[in-house]
Each structure stands twice: as C-alpha cells, then as structure tokens.
Structure 1
Amino acid sequence: MQRIKVWDLPVRLFHWSLVVLVAAAWVTQEANLMDWHVRCGTAILALLLFRVIWGFAGSDTARFGRFLRSPAAALRHLSHLRRREADREIGHNAAGGWMVLVMLALLGVQAGTGLFSNDDGNTEGPLMHLVDKEQSDWLSKVHALNFNLVLGVIVLHVLAIGAYAVFKRQNLVRPMLTGTKAMEGEVVAPRLVSPVWALAALAAAVGIVVWVVGA
C-alpha cells in the first residue's frame, strides 16, 4: 500500500464550499431570507464557473477529459457495485464522473434560472429586468422544480457513498477531506496544478459573475 495525493486543495475546497452554499440556499429560502438566498445563488454560480475552468485547466483528477468515460463504462462499473474489491480509482470512477457532470449541470440550471426569477413579492433575480414577467414566471417555475432534481441527486450521491462503504468497504469521504488515498501496487500519482492558478481561475470566475450580475 502507498498513500498518494489524489485531490488537490482547490477541488476539495470547491466540494465542501458547494455543500455549505447549497444548504444555505435551501435554509434561506425556507426562512424567507431572500436577500441572502440570492447571495448564496450568486456565490454558487461563481463556484460552478470556477469548476468549469478548473475542469479544463486544473489537476489531472479535476479535468473532465480525465474522468468522463462512456455511459457503458459507467453501467459496467455499477454492475459490480456489490463486489468487494480494492479501490483502484485514482480520481472519480466511471459512474462518479457522470454524477459530477449531472450535479454541475443541475446546479448550473438552478443558479442560472435564479438570476431571472421572481417570487411575486419583493424579491427579483438580478437579471429579471432582461426578460418580461411571463418569461420570469416560467423560469421561476423551472427554478422551483429543478431544485427537486438537485435534492434527488444529492440523496442519490449520499446513498452511493453509503453503498461503497457497505459493499466495497471503500471510504470515499476521507480522500475528499485529506486529499490522499491509500492505493495498492505501483500507482503513478496524478499531476497536481499549483493552487496559485486556482486562485487566478477563481478570481476570473468571480469577476465574470460580478460583471454579469451587475450588468
């Protein structure tokens, strides 16, 4: 067994920041703290844009081209879910890669529609002025319905983590906390990009979102 670095700090901070912000968005909506709800949504949008940039320019395990495999490969992987075996995946497995893509897409729809939404009260999305009321109402319905899909994928994600722990005895949470994983045999560690570039990517993402929201 050898312990290697599989997740860089930017990916881990993105992951847990997204968890906190999605939870905060839900709580602020339920508590009718809509100003804070809008702030959470704007922050989520900036994080998503950063993740897209990092998915092309970041570390090996963060790059879409490295972990996205064919749907057939994902189905084959899931067919072996109950088989106890050593964890040989350096980054996302074939099914997990698609889970990441689906989650990013759904959150993108959620944050994007929120920009144009309204609650027929005192709260309007920062870009509602770019569409008419009828279009905003439709986007508001999509915003509400899509959140149910987001919740469904979150539940599925948590259940999958539990299934890997029970059936395969694989802890998928610890590597996302520590960044390291114990691997069997000779394993080539992934190339990790300097966090300095991640800061540049985050600054660019925040700048773009601030410009769009303030446009």
Structure 2
Amino acid sequence: MKQQIRVWDAPLRIFHWLLALSVIVGLVTGWLGGSSWIGWHERTGLFIIGLLSFRLAWLVLGSTYARLSTLLGSLLSLPQYFAGQWRQLGHNPLGVLSVLAMLAMLSWQAVSGLFTNDGSVYTGPLYRLVSSSFSGDLTRLHKLGLWIIIGLIALHLLAILLHFVLKKHNLVKAMLTGKTEQQYPEQKAAQGGHWLAFVVAVVIACGAVYLASGEWQAKPPPAPAAAPAW
C-alpha cells in the first residue's frame, strides 16, 4: 500500500470549499436578482473578496504546494508534463493555469461588482468612486462575467472527472483529507502553513473586506425635507 503524504494544508482546503459554496450562492443570487436577493449577492461578493485576499496572502504564507513559487515552478515544467515526465505533487501545469484563470476571473467579478448599479435602487459599495457611465459599463461586463465563470466551473469539473477516470486520481478526496498517495520517492510532504501564518492571512482578508465594503467612506448628507404644500 502506497504511503499517504500531506499535500494540501487545512487553511487551503477550508478556503477551497468556502469559495466553492460562495460562488454558487453568488451565481444564484445574481441570477435571481431583485431587491430580495441583491443584498445577499453583495454580502456574498464581499465574502468572496475576503477569501480571495486570503488566498493571495496564502501564496506567500501557505505550505509548500499552496505557494506561488511552487505554482510558477509547475508552470515551467509544462514541457515535461506533456512528455509524461512530470512527477511533482500539487497542481500540475494545466491545473495551475486553471486555478489562475478561475482566481483572476473571480477577482474581476467580485471587484467590478463593487461599482455596479441596477439602474434604479441598488448601487455597489464603492459606486460613488466612479462616474455613472463607467459604473454602467462595469455593470454590463459584470453580468457577462457570470457566463464566463460558469464555463470555467464546467471545465474544472470536467478536469476532475477525467483525472478520476483516466488516471485514477481522486482530486476531491485529496482536497477533503489534505493527503494523497506518494507515487515517487522524490515527492515530499508539504511543509509550512501553520497557525500564525493563518492568523496573518485572516487579518489581511478582513482588511480587504473592510476596504471593499465602503464603510470608510463619508456618509452622504440626508436629503432635505420637502417643503410643506400649503
């Protein structure tokens, strides 16, 4: 029986599943729209910004296979991967491209949503920082981004299925348990990503949510009371 070794740290796994759930909620509430759902859509977007900010911090603070250096190293191994000589743990080169595309698109979608409006009642938390015409442009692109994210999710699920069918790699199980089978002696367990790094990343995420929420902006003065009709 092959040895099970650590590949994904707990904070990364928690991030992954929270992001998956949040994206589903964001897509559903954005699709439904309306005054009853737009508030939840905004809250979900802010939560996703917090998650993505955490992941950016975790690119530096996380364990071995969560770090940017490892991801970039995997990308440089693309020729070896296509030649069937890739023997590393973590995301393979195509997986890195998929992860980067998903994170980039979700970042765009979450940030652009801060400046959107529905043309009547709702405005994003940072709507006042841009012109109404620019907000309108961002709103149209934000709505288009929903379909791109759905497409990326479909590709992601297809890749997981193909890995399971063709290579007998259960990527879902690895993201649940954090461990995978050691295929080659040179593969080493993940190191780092301890509790202090986690606390720092969470603080960074909370700061990003605060900035995105617009709570730091000066409140607009109340509208003047209407003069009596007599």
Q: TM-score, normalised by structure 1?
A: 0.90
Taking a change above 3 Å as real, the CA distance of residues 159 and 76 of structure 1, as seen in their structure-2 partners, is: farther
Cα 1:164–1:75, aligned 2, differ >3 Å: closer, same or farther?
farther
Matching residue of 1:93: 92
Structure 2 CA distance for aligned equivalents of residues 132 and 37 of structure 1: 22
Partner of 1:62: 66
**How far, CA to CA, are the matches of 2:26 and 2:126 in structure 1?**
18
- The residue correspondences of 1:90-129 to structure 2 (distance < 5 A) are 90-129=89-128
Gaps of 5+ in 2: 217-230
Question: Structure 2 matches for 1:11-22, cutoff 5 A?
Answer: 11-22=12-23
Structure of larger gyration radius: 2
Q: CA deviation at 1:120?
A: 1.2
Q: CA separation in 2, counterparts of 1:196 and 1:168?
A: 36
Counterpart position of 2:153: 154
Q: Which of the numbers 33, 38, 41 marks the counterpart of 2:42?
A: 38
Report the CA distance between 1:30 and its aligned residue: 2.6
Q: State the shift of 1:169 in Å.
A: 1.4
Q: Is the contact made by 1:88 and 1:183 (CA closer than 8 Å) also made in structure 2?
A: no
8 Å CA contact 1:68–1:98 kept in 2: the answer is no
The one-letter code sitting in structure 1 at the alignment partner of 2:81 is H
Unaligned runs of 5+ in 1: none
User: SS at 1:181's partner residue?
Assistant: strand
Partner of 2:208: 208
Give per-residue Cα distances to partners, 1:70-121, cap 9 Å, x unaligned.
Answer: 76744763676xxxx9x94421111111111111100000001000001113
1:176 is displaced (CA, Å) by: 0.1
Count of residue pairs brought into register by the alignment: 210
Q: Alignment identity in percent? A: 37
Aligned equivalent of 1:2: 3
